[in-house]
Amino acid sequence: MSTPHTKVARQEMIKDWITQGSIHSQIEIVDRLKNSGFDVTQATVSRDLEEIGAVRGRDSQGDPNYRINQESIDEPLSKVSRLISDLLVDVKSSGNLTVLRTPPGGAQLLASALDRASRAGTIPQIIGTIAGDDTVLVVSSESDGAAQNAQLLLSLAQSEQI
């Protein structure tokens, strides 16, 4: 699999490195990105860190490191929860595919929120979605993960309604 050299791909790489707990400085990010084929400056990395919600802190040994602000992590999931409770009409699953039905015009909004939550790492078992007008196809990373995804999405819808 090859990674496109886009801003979104670059920011996703940075997020992955940060969540692995292995980033200690912006210079380190610049070096890693250059080794991955991205031509970036420290100013670009600084903007990326701000946009993805990264904050500088200290690890358990007291060494400086970056982490993703918890609000940046929680926000995509809470948005999915709100949208799914408002838009979900029906759920069916088979193998690694889950089909969500929404009212007309609701599918793309819900799919976009699911994709954002997936990229943010809050629903990592979803690798992507495809949306029509009133139907969202959710693809699971596991060959038999659709039922688990359906259950998770139903529980998110019900938790928002309480």
Domain ranges of the chain: 5-66, 74-157
Q: For the full predicted model, state whether its pTM sits above 0.75.
A: no
Task: State how far the Cα of 107 lies from the Cα of 129, in Å rounded to an integer.
Answer: 10
Q: DSSP for 29-40, please give it.
A: HHHHHHHTT---
Cβ-proximal residues to 101 (8 Å cutoff; 6+ apart), any chain: 88, 89, 90, 91, 134, 135
**What pLDDT, on the 0 to 100 scale, is given for residue 87?**
92
Percent share of the chain, pLDDT over 90: 49
Round to whole Å and give the CA distance between 148 and 106. 22
Q: Quote the CA–CA distance of 162 and 159 in Å, as a whole number.
A: 6
Between 140 and 4, whose confidence is greater? 140
Lowest average pLDDT, out of 66-70, 101-105, 110-114, 146-150, goes to 66-70
User: How many C-beta atoms surround the C-beta of residue 43 within 10 A?
Assistant: 10
Token pair belonging to 38: 């991205």
Other residues' Cβ atoms within 10 Å of the Cβ of residue 140: 21
Q: Which one, of 47, 42, 48, lies nearest residue 10 by Cα?
A: 48
Average pLDDT value for the chain? 87
Tokens found for residue 118: 């997936």
The 8-class DSSP code of residue 101 comes to E
Please state, in angstroms and rounded to a whole number, the distance separating the CA atoms of residues 97 and 49: 33
Write down the pLDDT at residue 8: 85
Report, as an integer, the average pLDDT of 6-29: 88
48-106 pLDDT, tens digit each? 998 888 888 877 787 888 888 765 555 777 888 888 989 999 999 999 999 999 999 99
Task: Determine contact, residues 94/106, Cβ cutoff 8 Å.
Answer: no
Class of domain 74-157: alpha beta
The candidate with the shortest Cα–Cα distance to 11, out of 1, 24, 36, 77, is: 36
1 pLDDT above the threshold of 70: no
Domain 5-66 top-level CATH class: mainly alpha
Residue type, position 69, single letter: N
